[in-house]
Structure 1
Amino acid sequence: MVRLRGGRPASIAVTGLSGSSESFLLNALGSAQTSPILVVTRHSDDAADLYEDLLNLMAEDALGYFPSRQILPYDFRAPVGEIMGQRLSTLSGLLGGTKSIVVCSIRALMEPTIPVGALQESRVDIQVDREIDLDDLTDRLIRLGFRRVPLVEEVGDFARRGGLIDLFTPGYENPIRVELFGDEVESIRVFEVGTQRTVGQLQHVGVLPKREIPITQETLERELERLPETDADYIRHRYLNDPELPGLEWLSLLFGLEKGSLLDYLPADSIVLFENEDALKAETESIIHEADMLRDRLANRLTRLPAPDEYYASPDNLFASLRTHAHINLLPFRGARNDIISFHCNPHPAFASRLDLLGNTLQEFRDTGMFYFIATDTDGQAARIDELIRQKARLEQSPHIEVADIRGGFVCSEGRFAILTDHEIFSRYHRRVRKKKFREGVAIADYSTLNRGDYVVHTDFGIARYLGLKTLVVDGRNRDCLLLQYAGTDKLYVPIEEFNRVSKYSGKDSAPQLTALGGPGWDKLKEKTKKAIADMAADLIKLYAARKSKPGTSFGEDSVWLKQLEAAFPYEETPDQQRAIDDVKRDMTDERPMDRLVCGDVGYGKTEVAIRAAFKAMDAGKQVAVLVPTTILAQQHYSTFSERLRDYPFKIAMLSRFRTRKEQLETAQAVGKGALDMVIGTHRLLSADVKFHDLGLLIIDEEHRFGVKHKEKLRQLAATVDTLAMTATPIPRTLQMSLMGARDMSLINTSPKDRLPILSEIAEFDPAIISTAILREIERGGQVFFVHNRVQTIESMHNYLRKLLPKVEIAVAHGQMHERSLEGIMLAFLAKRYDVLLCTSIIESGLDIQNANTIIINRADRFGLAQLYQIRGRVGRSARRAYAYLLTPPTRLLNADAIKRLRALEAHSDLGSGFALAMRDLEIRGAGTILGPKQSGFIEEIGFDLYNRLLEEAVAELKGEEIQRLPETKLELDIETYLADGYVNDRQHKVDIYRRLADSRNLDDVERIRDEVTDRFGRMPQSAANLIEATAVKIAASLLEIEKVRMHGGIAHLFFREDRKLTRSEVEALRKGTDCPMEFSLIGIPRITIDLTSVSAIDRLSHLRGLLGKVG
């Protein structure tokens, strides 16, 4: 610091740093410096790594991250909202003087940003107890690029409901809810997107523009008038139906708008740290060259295009500006320079999982007075490592372990300081744990929202089309109803209290046949389905009971080796994955044979569950068989198991037709002699010459893909051994619950948290886009999927791509090829002998090829959202950034639904609310796969939700469990019980609230909904409060077997079920519960009349609810 302050602008060079020691140096510099430090890295990933490191060492508020936009110049694509938020939040923090260190890549620094003055003028400050004009705030949000929506989900969304305004401003992890009382801000609350519920309170919020170029559609149109007509027309057609205005970041340069730079936000006495200045300069040349190439592809479309050095800062000018600040040049080695500060931070020692070597090193650290700690990513990993080290490293004292996501360890002899990391101890690669976690619970809530035109199932009347929510006036009172269209011209109005009898239809992709209202067909179909379900459930339960009665092997507790294997797992287990692992281990310690099915998408972690189960069996001296349906999967599993188990003395072999006849015979003999611990193979494993010496565990992948004969042999093989079946098709969690006690199932329906988001782009079919995408992936050593879903024209596309990219190796794969040819192609692609796999949608649920990280989907508009999600999911399965290009005809030729589907896929790079319907569709397909084709047919005919309800009842009945069927209490009230448009103005939100109230089974459910509605929409008007109370009365009455509650003019009549007998204690409880006059009639149908006229009109329902609760 003395050297840096000695003169302006001072310059020093530093070398000798390893691992994450740069982060510790920066932290020390930041603590000693009052002005910000700007750190410039060569690559975006380097900047992200450094930022994640620093988060472990300093307060997040003091640290800024300025990422690159991750869009290329001249691309018609909008930046991701989270990235915009990070950039704008960092700029705002620099203006406010809160940032002590800011990290960015050289590309991010070159990119233009919002000028300082524009950001200062556009920021909107909202504070509790201060007055604001809601209309003025609404107008300002629109000018800042925010989009008015019914439900806030994305950065840049806002919604207004009465005296409430929800908004998702850049720079915040969650959206904000501002509630006013009159014109005064009463509260500012933070809420979650998935639940829309409050999770925190704020006193102040600073609203930032949605983008660095906050131009509205109207402003854009005005600016386009100044461009040549052909240019304006081309730009307009790219924007058609797209409120995101993609490409604005470079198009704004055509309009002569002022642009700013990150450097404009730095005080003069800031320090700049270069990560190797020469490398940064080389990178700027590469960035400008790339921009030149990209500009050329648009040159024949637009007559006016900004030059690369208009979009990016000129490298010469940029470095000249940087050198006006004191700066540090971080060099990889000393070279011949003398004016350099050298540190002696050595790389992390190599232990290769040898815990005895680790123990020796730690003891040496302690003996020499070296301070150290071991960094792990999670609490669970910290506990595992602590136990392993104490058991195997034989230390005199417990090691120092800290939960910190440190990129790389180092040993700094000068500072007597060392950091070791768990991933380097166990020689596994490190993946950053991304701050943005995925949100659970969104999919189900979103799925059940009804849209006009959706198909629904009414339990009593069958399949209909939903035509919307209608408000009828009945006896002078407003009443909301669902309007359903049946076959012909028949329509049915369903009152809100019966919404629980209506569910969204999900069964098949095509439109179902509407039921004829009033005909006998629906009842016959339900009875036929019930019988088929009962037969299937009986078979399942019989098999389950028979299997559980047979003796098996009880495997012991986890060994130290197994704990070491688990500690070396390169990822953090997802909650679902950990539950599946625990389920399997619990089954294996039981004396009865395990029979468990694990369901989950490719890449969700099923194989790791199988690996740990296999290890546990082999560790106990038993053999393991892994059976797969195809040779390709056999090869993949062989590679995966061999890699994970390479440090342990287990012998693994593969048995398939891709082995020679001699090799197959040798493997079969080795299995019989017990010379092999594990064999992985296709149905060849079921041949008569394969006899296991001591089989303890059978793992079956995709059991449903085996034929009848193979399944019979499987049943014989699995009679007394533990069996673990796996499927890559997700299924609904409700099906798992319904089958409880008939089939042991574990679901992994959550993707790994630390998976890098897939960057998706919608683009027109363009040879420049295709060639750029493919060559970029090949240059970084990767492979590409090109999906062309027309077998008839796939050869023409093959010829087109070969002419476009003559030096690229391209293979073709589709479902009409001979199986052996197809497998040969896939194996060759897996072995990296081809750069591009041109294929149909056969890869939809295919291999886990981690080296393929770019996918191009031709005519993406022809796919459904569920299928697009599955296909795109073939990439993004490694630590490398993945890209998806959705190629379409010109936007103006697409219908609104196709655009909406594609935008949802482009915007949601991780699992989120946009995929609720897609995931649901996949799960329904999965349910049909698990239950078999016959049951799948019934799901299609009556819809999954009703099918699942009938299945749950059938299983419970066969298990001898009592099914409690309480009466559906009918309410006849002389008050309004509905959600007025002025309170909940979005019809879909209304339907969702009505449905959830109708589905409520206890008073706690009702109270949760009351709290949520008040939280989301503000104070309730009387009609809404009546609705909540009426639902509570209905539930309380149903529990007492009251069939009808009628209340008129303050007189309540309670009609019980005919066979219901009121006890003396119940009568006493009713009498003592109120001072209101009461009359009992026990002749015929039991009835109670209560005179509530002495209770105020607005409190009568709650009084009645309380009275009924005292009896229950």
Structure 2
Amino acid sequence: MNSLFEFFKEKNDCKLLIVSDDKEAQEAFDVLSYNQKKPFVLADFRANFGDDLLSFSEELQNITKTLNEFYSYKKENKVLVVPLRTASYKMPVEKCFDSFKIEFASTIDLDKLKDKLYNWGYYFVDIVTSEGEVSLRGDILDICPLGASKGFRVSLFDDEVESIREFDIEDQKSAKEEIDSFSITPAFLALNEDEIDRINEELESVESDAFIKDIHSLGFWYLDDLGEYLPSKFNSYITYNALDELDEAYIFESKRIDKEKFLTLPKIPKAKKYQIINPANVKEFLTFHDGKKHTIISTTEAKVKSFDLDLADKKIKYIFEPYIINLVSDDEVIISLNKEIKKKRKKKIKLVLDELLVNDFVVHEQHGIGQYKGIEPVVVMGAKRDFVIVAYANEDKLLIPVENIDLIDRYVADGSSYAVVDTLGKGSFAKLKDKVKDRLFAIANDIIKLAAARELVNGIKINCDKKILKDFSTSAGFDYTKDQKRSINELFDDLSSGKVMDRLLSGDVGFGKTEVAMNALLAVILDGHQALFVCPTTLLASQHFHSMKKRFDEYGIRMAQLDGKTTAKEKTYVKKALESGDIDLVVGTHSLLDIKTKDLALVIIDEEHKFGVKQKEKLKELREDVHIFSMSATPIPRTLNLALSKLKGMSSLLTPPTERLGVRTYVKEFEEKLIKEIVLREKRRGGQLFYVHNNIASMEAKKADIQEILPNIKIEMIHSKITQVKAEKLIEDFNDGKFDILLATSIVESGLHLPNANSMIIDGADRFGIADLHQLRGRVGRGHKEGFCYFIVEDKKKITSDAIKRLLALESNSYLGSGTALAHQDLEIRGGGNIIGEAQSGHIKQIGYGLYLKMLEDTLAILSGESKEESQVVDIKLAISAFISNDYIVEDRVRLELYRRLGKAKSKEAIYEIEEEMEDRFGKPDIPTKQFLELIMIKVLALQKEIKTVSSYEMNVTFTKNDDIKETIKSPSKDDDDIIATTLKYLRK
């Protein structure tokens, strides 16, 4: 940074600065901005020539957006900052960038606009959920140009722009205020018809393993005369750090600018005047350098005050910007009070588009498990209505009116179980539910009794207000996330409250749960007590022991390890030392279940869902007032979270650490050459691989196949049929680098932290659920290296278009946020199942996680004294045509999502809110859709009046109450609108 600062302080005429990577690019951005230059930073584009670019879509969007801004900025002070790998490829020429405006009251030729947006690289989707997407629905156009945080919704009257409003891509709601105009820039490049045709023609003859050969996945590589090497075009300089990266960037040299070209570029000279500083005490540091020019950079005035600096001090120049520059010279000191800005998290889409596919299994609350066969219109009593079709055993079908769609839910059990369809009308499912209910009452009763008993006991009071604890968090070597800070505060509140703590922390793998736990361990041990850290496997125990030893060394904490690998002699010593108080902390496995301690205050259970209820109780029995802190990697559903939070504390980590890199995902068709390249590429960077093959029977054959392609590679297999001891030994050997590939079933999807295994191949990826793929992918890219995940399919011609869509969704990471939102939904449900423990998996398999948790929540609520009334169903048999019509909303998935949300609506307000949103997103509802919304209103009002059926015959409308009392009223005619108006009038009185 000091050399860059010195160089640009001289106001030279550099137009292109080549740096090593993203981090150095950020430093250059700060230095250039400080020196009155206008920097434009391109993404670090680390693809190799010919790679499928869908998994680099974020970088490509950044390149398009930044180059567009750079070329349209007309002042002389601009500088393009380009990481070395990006500078080595041809970038689009200036004529590839353009923009156009859509203005209020202007006219639009829709066909021409569609062609233009397609040529400019926009994706046409059902619902716009990220940049570079467009959706056309009748007379409504939604679009989100690159760089826009919100989308734009254009309402047309014929071909005239009637209104333009911004809308939130998270919940699809648009702002009330209209705007006059907005600009559309290319999502890929501003290409014309001929250029697109030329690139497409070239792509047809290209040999590539890209899953879909189109302009989005490969177009960038075939720009030809539309591309140019930037160092050849601009007055360029290169940093020494970038030169050091040259060899690594050129591992794969195909189609790159000549390496020698970079060596001939002028270098940024080494700094002579400025030195980098890192002052611990800013105020004190400034006094040491009195007499020099002082500059303080901060984002806010409040931050300046927090450093005890005087804003009125005329000797200090204050700059309020986000720059991070800390330098000193003979006559100047520049200090930044800012911390590194964390990467923005991609917002989770609030609308989960229902990915319920035909033939998926669903659970009906009364009839059990069936197969969803879609939504079909059926004419009943001369009126057309939509029904959900669910198939049961013996080819029986159940037709569910869409207004009661809330009675079915997706069937989710664990990854390996396959649903068994129930028989309609036998009553066996009702018996099964009763059996599960009895079992649930027993479980819930135990949970509540235990919580009540612990509530009566006084807990060990821990003093958590020590300076040493605050220092511990700053010595972590990274900034805690907001969630980590909150969880630590919740933990300290519990420990110091004088009550017995029972808290569960849920958070994705690698989100820093162990760091939170270490704060609690330190607080307890510094207060003079002992603690245990219990893990399900020897490998995990060993990993945790070493990382804690490193962090706790300076505090003089006496630690030991106790697990399957501990020798008999060591075991005896550790047990005696625990009993005498000579050891403060033991990290171990199940071996810790039967020990005695002198002054135990805290037990931490890692991967708590891997322990049975009895084992957890045994740990609590070690001492009746011991604090319990459990950690789990699966998220807990919000509702169950609330039900359980009355009985135990709940904390969650939802934000990933800043240094965590994403996982590049590719979808490929199986080819021996490809497997060989993937394995050798990972080996070249000193790493190992997971190969997921989810069929134990054909695993040996798969191992032989891989061995044939790669004879010198060492492979081991792991699956559920091998013993726990052997599995742990295998994982340990893999962790120690004794072999290259771990061939496994989906057993590897949780609980492993192997930072050196950063590539994963998933065989038959089309046969996995979206949640399983999402979870498996999380196994790699957990250290500081980028992870690669390859979804392999046997033959792309034989898989469904939905499976292709789902895989490409995960590949580009952006497709309808619902892809990942849905994966989280599945994981949440499983997380809830995990809380109850493995023993319940039999019941869960029979009725599915969703219904099981719903029943558990109800049971807990009843036993906690919050009696929950049985959910009522209204049978509506009105002779009216009511459905969300295909003309109004074309996409089945979107209609299904709205049916689902309306089916769950419990109040008038909720219906009005959805109706308003529908009008906003799709325009005014047509007659059948409007009548369906009124039908839902009838359902809600009837529920409130305890009416169980509403039916009509000719002009008569009949209401039957729960006590079977009937009342019939007359409608002015048998027209749909009269019957609806009469029914609503009666229900509203």
Which residue is equivalent to 1:140?
116
The residue identity in structure 1 corresponding to 2:332 is G
Which shows bigger deviation, 196-205 or 491-500? Answer: 196-205
Aligned mate of 2:529, from 622, 631, 639: 622
Gaps of 5+ in 1: 1-16, 293-307, 334-341, 352-356, 391-395, 423-429, 1060-1083
Q: Does the alignment pair 1:955 with 2:860?
A: yes
Within 5 Å, give how 1:431-580 maps onto structure 2. 433-435=342-344, 437-442=345-350, 445-446=352-353, 448-509=354-415, 510-569=417-476, 577=484, 580=487
Which residue is equivalent to 1:716?
621
Q: Does the alignment pair 1:418 with 2:335?
A: yes
Q: Matches of 1:36 and 1:369 in 2, distance apart?
A: 27
Deviation, structure 1 residue 699: 0.7
Q: Matches of 2:873 and 2:28 in 1, distance apart?
A: 60
Call closer, same or farther: CA 1:739–1:79 in 2, change over 3 Å.
closer
The residue identity in structure 1 corresponding to 2:21 is H
| 1:796-853 superposed Cα distances (whole Å, 9 cap, x missing partner) | 3675576456xxx877666666655554453354455666656554432132233443
Which residue is equivalent to 1:604?
511
Q: Matches of 1:290 and 1:546 in 2, distance apart?
A: 65
| 1:611-666 superposed Cα distances (whole Å, 9 cap, x missing partner) | 22222322322221111122211111112323344454433332334445444444
The residue identity in structure 2 corresponding to 1:332 is K
User: Is the 2:325–2:334 Cα contact (8 Å) retained in structure 1?
Assistant: no
SS in 2 for 1:997: helix
Q: Does the alignment pair 1:1012 with 2:942?
A: no
User: Is the 1:622–1:694 Cα contact (8 Å) retained in structure 2?
Assistant: yes
Q: Does the alignment pair 1:250 with 2:221?
A: yes
SS in 2 for 1:247: helix
Aligned mate of 2:294, from 367, 370, 373: 370
Within 5 Å, give how 1:389-404 maps onto structure 2. none
User: Is the 2:464–2:495 Cα contact (8 Å) retained in structure 1?
Assistant: no
| 1:941-966 superposed Cα distances (whole Å, 9 cap, x missing partner) | 22333323322222222222232457
TM-score, normalised to structure 2, is 0.85
Call closer, same or farther: CA 1:782–1:955 in 2, change over 3 Å.
same
User: Is the 2:4–2:268 Cα contact (8 Å) retained in structure 1?
Assistant: no
Which residue is equivalent to 1:42?
20
Deviation, structure 1 residue 163: 0.6
Aligned mate of 2:274, from 344, 355, 367: 344
Q: Matches of 1:41 and 1:937 in 2, distance apart?
A: 57
Q: Matches of 1:998 and 1:685 in 2, distance apart?
A: 50
Which shows bigger deviation, 357-366 or 637-646? Answer: 357-366
Deviation, structure 1 residue 90: 1.7
Call closer, same or farther: CA 1:170–1:832 in 2, change over 3 Å.
same
| 1:472-519 superposed Cα distances (whole Å, 9 cap, x missing partner) | 344554322222222223223222322222222223554423332222
Within 5 Å, give how 1:811-826 maps onto structure 2. 820=725, 822-826=727-731
Call closer, same or farther: CA 1:541–1:289 in 2, change over 3 Å.
closer
Q: Does the alignment pair 1:361 with 2:361?
A: no
Call closer, same or farther: CA 1:633–1:713 in 2, change over 3 Å.
same
Within 5 Å, give how 1:294-305 maps onto structure 2. none
Q: Matches of 1:523 and 1:95 in 2, distance apart?
A: 68
Q: Matches of 1:403 and 1:793 in 2, distance apart?
A: 64
CA RMSD across the alignment: 4.5
SS in 2 for 1:484: strand
Deviation, structure 1 residue 1000: 0.9
SS in 1 for 2:445: helix
Which residue is equivalent to 1:877?
782
User: Is the 1:735–1:927 Cα contact (8 Å) retained in structure 2?
Assistant: yes
Which residue is equivalent to 2:748?
843
Q: Matches of 2:890 and 2:627 in 1, distance apart?
A: 56
Which shows bigger deviation, 147-156 or 955-964? Answer: 147-156
User: Is the 1:979–1:990 Cα contact (8 Å) retained in structure 2?
Assistant: yes
Q: Matches of 2:166 and 2:6 in 1, distance apart?
A: 33
Call closer, same or farther: CA 1:44–1:835 in 2, change over 3 Å.
farther
Q: Matches of 2:36 and 2:767 in 1, distance apart?
A: 48
Deviation, structure 1 residue 594: 1.3
Which residue is equivalent to 2:205?
232
Equivalent pairs: percent with the same residue?
30
Deviation, structure 1 residue 175: 4.0
SS in 1 for 2:504: strand
Deviation, structure 1 residue 160: 1.3
Q: Matches of 1:964 and 1:1012 in 2, distance apart?
A: 30
Deviation, structure 1 residue 722: 0.4
Which residue is equivalent to 1:290?
252
User: Is the 2:120–2:187 Cα contact (8 Å) retained in structure 1?
Assistant: yes
Q: What count of residue pairs does the alignment treat as equivalent?
A: 975
The residue identity in structure 1 corresponding to 2:363 is V
Deviation, structure 1 residue 750: 5.5
Q: Matches of 1:735 and 1:482 in 2, distance apart?
A: 28
Q: Does the alignment pair 1:107 with 2:85?
A: yes
SS in 2 for 1:291: coil
Call closer, same or farther: CA 1:151–1:777 in 2, change over 3 Å.
same
Deviation, structure 1 residue 161: 0.7
Q: Matches of 1:59 and 1:947 in 2, distance apart?
A: 62
Aligned mate of 1:936, from 828, 841, 845: 841
Which shows bigger deviation, 535-544 or 403-412? Answer: 403-412
Call closer, same or farther: CA 1:589–1:405 in 2, change over 3 Å.
farther
User: Is the 1:653–1:679 Cα contact (8 Å) retained in structure 2?
Assistant: yes
User: Is the 1:1000–1:1006 Cα contact (8 Å) retained in structure 2?
Assistant: yes
User: Is the 2:18–2:83 Cα contact (8 Å) retained in structure 1?
Assistant: yes
Within 5 Å, give how 1:11-50 maps onto structure 2. 17-18=1-2, 22=4, 37-47=15-25, 50=28
Which residue is equivalent to 1:299?
none
The residue identity in structure 2 corresponding to 1:330 is I
Which shows bigger deviation, 712-721 or 359-368? Answer: 359-368
Call closer, same or farther: CA 1:832–1:77 in 2, change over 3 Å.
same
Which residue is equivalent to 2:760?
855
Q: Matches of 1:284 and 1:593 in 2, distance apart?
A: 58
Which residue is equivalent to 1:354?
none
Which residue is equivalent to 2:174?
198
Within 5 Å, give how 1:768-807 maps onto structure 2. 773=678, 777=682, 782-787=687-692, 791-793=699-701, 796=704, 799-800=707-708, 803-804=711-712
The residue identity in structure 2 corresponding to 1:602 is V
User: Is the 1:980–1:1023 Cα contact (8 Å) retained in structure 2?
Assistant: yes
The residue identity in structure 1 corresponding to 2:253 is A
| 1:306-327 superposed Cα distances (whole Å, 9 cap, x missing partner) | xx3xxx345677899xx8xxxx
The residue identity in structure 1 corresponding to 2:561 is M
Q: Matches of 1:556 and 1:128 in 2, distance apart?
A: 64
| 1:384-412 superposed Cα distances (whole Å, 9 cap, x missing partner) | x998x88xxxxx9xx99999876674334
Which residue is equivalent to 1:274?
238
User: Is the 1:810–1:836 Cα contact (8 Å) retained in structure 2?
Assistant: yes
Call closer, same or farther: CA 1:41–1:775 in 2, change over 3 Å.
farther
Call closer, same or farther: CA 1:490–1:832 in 2, change over 3 Å.
closer
Which shows bigger deviation, 548-557 or 412-421? Answer: 412-421
User: Is the 1:113–1:261 Cα contact (8 Å) retained in structure 2?
Assistant: yes
Q: Matches of 1:943 and 1:962 in 2, distance apart?
A: 24
Call closer, same or farther: CA 1:150–1:996 in 2, change over 3 Å.
same
The residue identity in structure 1 corresponding to 2:328 is V
Q: Does the alignment pair 1:73 with 2:45?
A: no
The residue identity in structure 1 corresponding to 2:270 is P
User: Is the 1:698–1:718 Cα contact (8 Å) retained in structure 2?
Assistant: no
Call closer, same or farther: CA 1:571–1:858 in 2, change over 3 Å.
farther
Call closer, same or farther: CA 1:38–1:201 in 2, change over 3 Å.
farther
Deviation, structure 1 residue 592: 2.5
